[in-house]
Chain A
Amino acid sequence: MALKKVKGNFERMFDKNLTDLVRGIRNNKDNEAKYISQCIEEIKQELRQDNINVKCNAVAKLTYIQMLGYDISWAGFNIIEVMSSSRFTCKRIGYLAASQCFHPDSELLMLTTNMIRKDLNSQNQYDAGVALSGLSCFISPDLSRDLANDIMTLMSSTKPYLRMKAVLMMYKVFLRYPEALRPAFPKLKEKLEDPDPGVQSAAVNVICELARKNPKNYLPLAPIFFKLMTTSTNNWMLIKIIKLFASLTTIEPALGRKLTQPLIEIISSTSAMSLLYECINTVIAVLISISSGMPNHSASIQLCVQKLRILIEDSDQNLKYLGLLAMSKILKTHPKSVQSHKDLILACLDDKDESIRLRALDLLYGMVSKKNLMEIVKRLLGHMERAEGSAYRDELLYKVIEICSQSSYLYVTNFEWYLTVLVELIQLEAGSKHGRLIAEQLLDVAIRVPVVRQFAVNEMTNLLDTFVVSAQSNSMYEVLYAAAWIVGEFSSELEDAEKTLNILLRPRQLPGHIQGVYVQNVIKLFARLATTCLELQDVPGILRVCDHVLDKLQHFNGSSDIEVQERANSACILIEMLRAQFTSANSTTTTLAETLEANVDMLHVEDENKGEQEQSTVDGIHTANIPTLAIEIVQEMTLLFAGELIPVAPKAQRKVPLPDGLDLDEWINPPPPEDASSSSSEHDKDELFVSSTYGHVDGEGNGSGTGAGKRRQSLELTPEQLERQRMARLIEQSNNPHYLKSSPAATAAGSSNNSNADQYDNIDDIPITELPLDMEGVAALRVGVTKRSDKYLLQEQEHQQQLKAAHSSRGSKDSKKKHKKTKKSKKSKNKVAYNSSSESEEEPKPLHIVNTTLDMPEGVTMSDSEDKDGKYDPNDPHRALDIELDIADFDGPTTKSKETSRKNLKAAEDTATAATTTTTAAVTTTSSSGKKEKKKDKGKGREREKTREHRTRKAHKTHDLIDTNSPNKTIETTTTTATTPQQGVNNNNNNSTNNTSTNQHKKKKKEKSEKGDKGREKSAHKSTIVEPLMDVDVDMDMLQQLTDNAIELPATKKKHKKDKSQHKEKKHASKSQQPKGESSLLDDYEQPLGISTPSKEIF
């Protein structure tokens, strides 16, 4: 038997082990897949052997292969075999393989329950440890249920290593088996006060994770955490606790009041950046949760913002990023305090780091004002030109639009500028996915800012003319939709409507929905042109236009889109009808010059008064040249598009009350009985339609919907019907709650917008906004500038300059110089601060005014969303963990400790009050504690000082843990082909950190901080500040020594060289055994990671 075993061992000796496998893969670079499949075959062979060591080796290889992306779940059973081995070596390999390839749904897991239980209860703590580590990766609900008790027992093991792992494991158990939470919680809470710091930290970690999702259940634990926060020296744990408090304060603002003071103490005392940052974050959360009523509320915000400024100004990009991130949180509630750091944030826009630029962009939202908007947008446009990567460009584009359009274009003073910017955004061809967004903006501006319409139609005509639909799959062509609609709808503003019409009629390859809009607006333009021609008695003109349109519409007739076909056909027929009138008129009557002249008179009359005109046309004498019917057709066509559209709020639907007796669940048409004739059902429909128009009961259609429907229908109607419908529409409009009626006072100014409006009796129906007609800019528009939007900026700057000059003579020269500079050199602009002149300066007056009226039901705000819980994840396991825990029972010990131990009196009192504030009504405690609290704070302060002393002492001990060996670890930079400059810097850092053993920091704290600042500025050491995980106050010492040691550096370097050469030899010896295949890559792979040097990062 034994002999057989030895023989087996001997045979297997020549199996590939993991190293052989890796080497083999590296030697078969060209046909890696083939080699691996060959290896997998071998592994399958090996797995059939009885020898557990062989299997173990095979499983180890499989784990490596898994990392390369191969499925190894077929070996699941063998993995379990290896896991069940009694030897730790095999067990560890088995559990590793299991943790890599098993998952909670693996069916094999049910085989493992007893084996894992055995391992958990093993005498050897590492057996249990390995089992816990593995289990944490693949635990299933069944395993959780079956093993919960065993893991809970381990939580009170005598070995801290197991306690720690078991505590963390419990979190995974809770997630899969929520029922375990209630029984396990008392024990978990106990672990918060475990003598071992690791276990304590693990317990904090677990409770933080639990409380993050369901904070309210863990509120009663606040006193314990408060105590931990004020006494602990473990930065890692402190961070977790502070993060936890941030989530607790959101539901209990009273806690926040208690927290601010200690947090601010930590902020001003700690030097660990990570801790500082989390403190600031929590203070922000606290300040957000308590809206007002804090005595030094603004002071603490100020402190936070100042500290964040320091972070942002730091040369370390990580701190900069985090600073901006935290700023964005403050921005939401305290925009004022962030705005004072505008300069800094704007400077970050030019940062080379994309992550930072994106963060700064987020903040921009709150940074803009009427004054600097143009400048900022200009900068962003510049970025867009330079930026590579469409994702970033898209983001920029989105931000430009966001900051311009926020709160109904509050900061846009000149809409011609804004339209120009939009057109430039289109022309940048960013491969953008935001085409539709731009289109919406164009439409919105054109509709809501009537004054800018003339400018808009001209811009849009140009855009339609020049826009090239690129083959790329971007959505920018969507802007054509907006452009076509704008030129059609506001055709009265066009200078040369015929030109625009021709542009629209050009055959182009466009998506169906845009072609549809094209056709529709061709009709609008045609109606417009026909009206003008009639006014001018230009019959040949009409005929020419008719023919041209008819000809070109054929192209749309052949469209593959059914909607386009339909519209084009209707349009054709309509125009043909008109055309037919002329041809018939021409054939029967002769043209007379006298009648022509008479007609002119008549038509003028027609314009002024419609009723009279109709009378006169009926007379018939003057229709010799232009047939009556033709005039009527043209008039009706124009009427189709008369009236103005106003924006409708997204929730306008709510404004419509449900009419009495309307049951939405009822059948609109009862399901047809079998014998019902078709005619009766048609009749039903008719009735429904009529009643909906007259009684305006239509629950569905808002203004535009019904309007469009009617336009379509009217194409086939006789003039009488049209007239009737028009009347119906007028009645409907006057009654329709959707249709905005402007005050009569406003009518006078806007009447020019719509000449047809004169024909209506009730002009009041047409919503008009009064607008200041300040069109100075238009004259300058014709100048062709490459960056057209810049011109507006210059204008504004000049304007401001004039203002300034008028206001005060002093300093005017400087500003002139500045402005000249900006005009001349584009590059230098980047350095020019955005209108950094004082805030007191007047804001530029808006050139255009936005029509902000929206149809909105009462009691509805734009911001409240319909689906608030959109983010709510139904699969979130934490939902099941929302369990009320009766923690109050366990508060006993903490309050008792107050009575028993006199030394901890102050701290305990503190916790007690915190407990009461959280559990009982907050009002009474806060009011009564006024004076007492001050005393307490003093006492607490003293105690804190003590603890800090203690902490620093400890910190010095722990500090060395990471860094003591650093000199020996310094890596042989000479052997490597490419050494990063970072390494060089890090070496310096090592030298300096070695010597951090002095203890004088207490005496000269202030001095040090000054020196520390100096140290920061010395660029060589700037990024190399080291803070080990556990210390709090050491940093300043180190900084001091950084400066002190700057001189000693050369000496220590020599020593390092010695070390280095030693390492070199050693390394050489060890690596020379590598086979040839690797040698080519060797240099690269052998390159040390440069970690021996502590990070530049701060902790």
Chain B
Amino acid sequence: MIKAILVFNNHGKPRLSKFYQYFDESLQQQIIKETFQLVSKRDDNVCNFLEGGSLIGGSDYKLIYRHYATLYFVFCVDSSESELGILDLIQVFVETLDKCFENVCELDLIFHADAVHHILSELVMGGMVLQTNMTDIMSRIEEQNKLVKQEAGISAAPARAVSAVKSMNIPQQIKDIKLPAIKDLKF
């Protein structure tokens, strides 16, 4: 069983937290903090297993994590899971994210936390591994996205237009317009 799945960045900011056992919010934050402290002080070339912290788990639980660029993906699992299997599951998860977001980076996870949750729910359900086959996972996600699009239809058009305008962020665009430096201008 998987007890928790945490994603946080190099500074310990949570990007995704999924607990399959109930902890109240403050305890969740403590767990994230503690896990970050445990994981972050480890070099990149050491092994990916860690005997769990004090808050989560106990002797039967292990932290299995992977570090991708700015993000840590940490799974807290008990002894019924295969260590290497979970490592691979993390890989599948991240690859799926990569496909869904087309070159995933931390920003994607920041702004689409809900989508990440939906993707995760196709891999793991209630702490148990649901599906490990990427194509199956992708087809499920795509079908659901199609459903959402259908439902949105025309009624959501104005809202989408507004959000498009919002995200255009005109002031920034203006700033981004690069005028040639004065000394380069030839009169």
Does A481 count as interface, using CB distance less than 8 angstroms? no
Q: What are the residues of chain B within 8 A of A358 when measuring CB–CB?
A: 51
Q: A1067 and B103 in contact (CB under 8 A), knowing A1085-B110, A1098-B84? A: yes
- CB proximity of A741 to chain B, nearest CB, Å: 44
User: Which residues from 1040 to 1099 on chain A have a C-beta closer than 8 Å to any C-beta of chain B?
Assistant: 1063, 1067, 1071-1076, 1078-1079, 1082, 1084-1092, 1094-1095, 1097-1099
Does B180 count as interface, using CB distance less than 8 angstroms? no
Does A1038 count as interface, using CB distance less than 8 angstroms? no
When C-beta atoms are compared, the residue in chain A nearest to B22 turns out to be A103
Does A208 count as interface, using CB distance less than 8 angstroms? yes
Q: What are the residues of chain A within 8 A of B127 when measuring CB–CB?
A: 136
Partner of B88, one of A137, A1078, A1099: A1099
Assess whether A87 is in contact with B151, with CB atoms less than 8 Å apart.
yes
Q: What are the residues of chain A within 8 A of B40 when measuring CB–CB?
A: none
When C-beta atoms are compared, the residue in chain B nearest to A320 turns out to be B47
Partner of B103, one of A63, A89, A172, A1092: A1092
Assess whether B47 is in contact with A356, with CB atoms less than 8 Å apart.
yes
Interface-forming stretch among A11-19, A39-47, A141-149, A911-919? A11-19
Partner of B22, one of A63, A104, A1085: A104
Assess whether B44 is in contact with A126, with CB atoms less than 8 Å apart.
no
Assess whether B84 is in contact with A1097, with CB atoms less than 8 Å apart.
yes
Assess whether A317 is in contact with B46, with CB atoms less than 8 Å apart.
yes
Assess whether B44 is in contact with A355, with CB atoms less than 8 Å apart.
no
Q: What are the residues of chain A within 8 A of B18 when measuring CB–CB?
A: 100
Does A164 count as interface, using CB distance less than 8 angstroms? yes
User: Which residues from 140 to 157 on chain B have a C-beta closer than 8 Å to any C-beta of chain A?
Assistant: 140, 143-144, 147-148, 151-152, 155-156
Assess whether A1029 is in contact with B92, with CB atoms less than 8 Å apart.
yes
When C-beta atoms are compared, the residue in chain A nearest to B158 turns out to be A13
When C-beta atoms are compared, the residue in chain B nearest to A277 turns out to be B84
User: Which residues from 920 to 975 on chain A have a C-beta closer than 8 Å to any C-beta of chain B?
Assistant: 958, 961-962, 965, 969, 971-972
Q: What are the residues of chain B within 8 A of A320 when measuring CB–CB?
A: 47
Query: What band does the interface of chain A fall in when counting residues whose beta carbon is under 8 Å from B?
Result: 35 or more
Q: Which of B47, B166, B175 has the most CB of A within 10 A?
A: B47
A971–B104 Cα distance when bound, in Å, is 10
Q: A71 and B24 in contact (CB under 8 A), knowing A13-B159, A88-B148, A209-B80? A: yes
Does B184 count as interface, using CB distance less than 8 angstroms? no
Does A408 count as interface, using CB distance less than 8 angstroms? no
Beta-carbon contacts of B116-137 to A below 8 Å, as 1s and 0s? 0110010001111111111110
Q: What are the residues of chain A within 8 A of B104 when measuring CB–CB?
A: 1088-1089, 1091
- CB proximity of A212 to chain B, nearest CB, Å: 5
Q: A317 and B47 in contact (CB under 8 A), knowing A168-B125, A212-B80, A322-B84? A: yes
Q: What are the residues of chain B within 8 A of A133 when measuring CB–CB?
A: 121, 125-126
Does A831 count as interface, using CB distance less than 8 angstroms? no
Assess whether A1076 is in contact with B171, with CB atoms less than 8 Å apart.
yes
Beta-carbon contacts of B13-34 to A below 8 Å, as 1s and 0s? 0101110101011101100000
Does A67 count as interface, using CB distance less than 8 angstroms? yes
Assess whether B114 is in contact with A22, with CB atoms less than 8 Å apart.
no
Q: A66 and B131 in contact (CB under 8 A), knowing A88-B151, A318-B87, A1089-B98? A: no
Assess whether B87 is in contact with A1095, with CB atoms less than 8 Å apart.
yes
- CB proximity of A712 to chain B, nearest CB, Å: 43
Q: A89 and B148 in contact (CB under 8 A), knowing A70-B25, A205-B128, A1089-B98? A: yes
Q: What are the residues of chain B within 8 A of A19 when measuring CB–CB?
A: 111, 163, 166-167
A976–B106 Cα distance when bound, in Å, is 13
Assess whether A318 is in contact with B83, with CB atoms less than 8 Å apart.
yes
Query: What band does the interface of chain B fall in when counting residues whose beta carbon is under 8 Å from A?
Result: 35 or more
Partner of A322, one of B28, B83, B114, B129: B83
Assess whether B45 is in contact with A980, with CB atoms less than 8 Å apart.
no
When C-beta atoms are compared, the residue in chain B nearest to A1078 turns out to be B107
A891–B119 Cα distance when bound, in Å, is 39
Q: What are the residues of chain A within 8 A of B144 when measuring CB–CB?
A: 88, 92, 126
Beta-carbon contacts of B154-184 to A below 8 Å, as 1s and 0s? 0110110011001111011101100000000
User: Which residues from 318 to 334 on chain A have a C-beta closer than 8 Å to any C-beta of chain B?
Assistant: 318, 320-322
When C-beta atoms are compared, the residue in chain B nearest to A20 turns out to be B166
A235–B91 Cα distance when bound, in Å, is 16
Assess whether A1085 is in contact with B85, with CB atoms less than 8 Å apart.
no
Q: A1099 and B68 in contact (CB under 8 A), knowing A356-B47, A1092-B98? A: no
A1091–B48 Cα distance when bound, in Å, is 16
Partner of A168, one of B22, B51, B82, B128: B128
When C-beta atoms are compared, the residue in chain A nearest to B126 turns out to be A136
Beta-carbon contacts of A53-67 to B below 8 Å, as 1s and 0s? 100000010011011
Does A723 count as interface, using CB distance less than 8 angstroms? no
Assess whether A67 is in contact with B126, with CB atoms less than 8 Å apart.
no
Assess whether B20 is in contact with A92, with CB atoms less than 8 Å apart.
no
Assess whether A1073 is in contact with B167, with CB atoms less than 8 Å apart.
yes
Q: A67 and B85 in contact (CB under 8 A), knowing A354-B46, A961-B135, A1071-B107? A: no
A316–B156 Cα distance when bound, in Å, is 51
When C-beta atoms are compared, the residue in chain B nearest to A23 turns out to be B111
A1099–B68 Cα distance when bound, in Å, is 19
Q: A88 and B147 in contact (CB under 8 A), knowing A13-B162, A1063-B103, A1075-B172? A: yes
User: Which residues from 74 to 120 on chain B have a C-beta closer than 8 Å to any C-beta of chain A?
Assistant: 80, 82-85, 87-88, 91-92, 94-95, 97-99, 103-107, 110-111, 113-114, 117-118
Assess whether A1091 is in contact with B114, with CB atoms less than 8 Å apart.
no
Q: What are the residues of chain B within 8 A of A137 when measuring CB–CB?
A: 20, 126
A352–B45 Cα distance when bound, in Å, is 9
Assess whether B46 is in contact with A1029, with CB atoms less than 8 Å apart.
no
Does B185 count as interface, using CB distance less than 8 angstroms? no
Assess whether B168 is in contact with A1073, with CB atoms less than 8 Å apart.
yes
A777–B148 Cα distance when bound, in Å, is 83
Assess whether B68 is in contact with A1097, with CB atoms less than 8 Å apart.
no
A584–B78 Cα distance when bound, in Å, is 78
A538–B155 Cα distance when bound, in Å, is 111
When C-beta atoms are compared, the residue in chain B nearest to A171 turns out to be B128
When C-beta atoms are compared, the residue in chain A nearest to B10 turns out to be A1084
- CB proximity of A119 to chain B, nearest CB, Å: 14
- CB proximity of B134 to chain A, nearest CB, Å: 5
Beta-carbon contacts of B33-66 to A below 8 Å, as 1s and 0s? 0000000001111111111000000000000001
Does A243 count as interface, using CB distance less than 8 angstroms? yes
Does A376 count as interface, using CB distance less than 8 angstroms? no
When C-beta atoms are compared, the residue in chain A nearest to B114 turns out to be A60
Beta-carbon contacts of A982-1004 to B below 8 Å, as 1s and 0s? 10000000000000000000000
Assess whether B71 is in contact with A1089, with CB atoms less than 8 Å apart.
yes
Assess whether A961 is in contact with B134, with CB atoms less than 8 Å apart.
yes
Query: What are some 8 contacts across the A-B interface (CB < 8 A)?
Result: A63-B113, A93-B114, A198-B133, A198-B136, A355-B46, A355-B50, A1089-B68, A1091-B91
- Residues of B participating in the A interface, judged by any CB pair closer than 8 Å: 1, 9, 14, 16-18, 20, 22, 24-26, 28-29, 42-51, 66, 68-71, 80, 82-85, 87-88, 91-92, 94-95, 97-99, 103-107, 110-111, 113-114, 117-118, 121, 125-136, 140, 143-144, 147-148, 151-152, 155-156, 158-159, 162-163, 166-169, 171-173, 175-176
Taking A209-B128, A1029-B92 as given, write out 19 further A-B residue pairs in contact, using a Cβ cutoff of 8 Å, ordered by the A residue number.
Answer: A10-B158, A17-B163, A71-B24, A71-B25, A126-B143, A133-B125, A137-B126, A168-B126, A318-B48, A321-B47, A354-B46, A355-B51, A958-B133, A976-B69, A1030-B133, A1076-B171, A1089-B68, A1089-B70, A1092-B98
8 smallest CB-CB distances across A and B, nearest first, come from A136-B126, A274-B84, A103-B22, A317-B47, A1089-B68, A353-B46, A1099-B88, A1091-B94
- Residues of A participating in the B interface, judged by any CB pair closer than 8 Å: 9-10, 12-14, 17-20, 22-23, 26, 53, 60, 63-64, 66-71, 87-89, 92-93, 96, 100, 103-105, 124, 126, 130, 132-133, 136-137, 161, 164-165, 168-169, 171-172, 198, 201-202, 205-206, 208-209, 212, 236, 239, 243, 273-274, 277-278, 317-318, 320-322, 352-356, 358, 958, 961-962, 965, 969, 971-972, 976, 980, 982, 1029-1030, 1063, 1067, 1071-1076, 1078-1079, 1082, 1084-1092, 1094-1095, 1097-1099
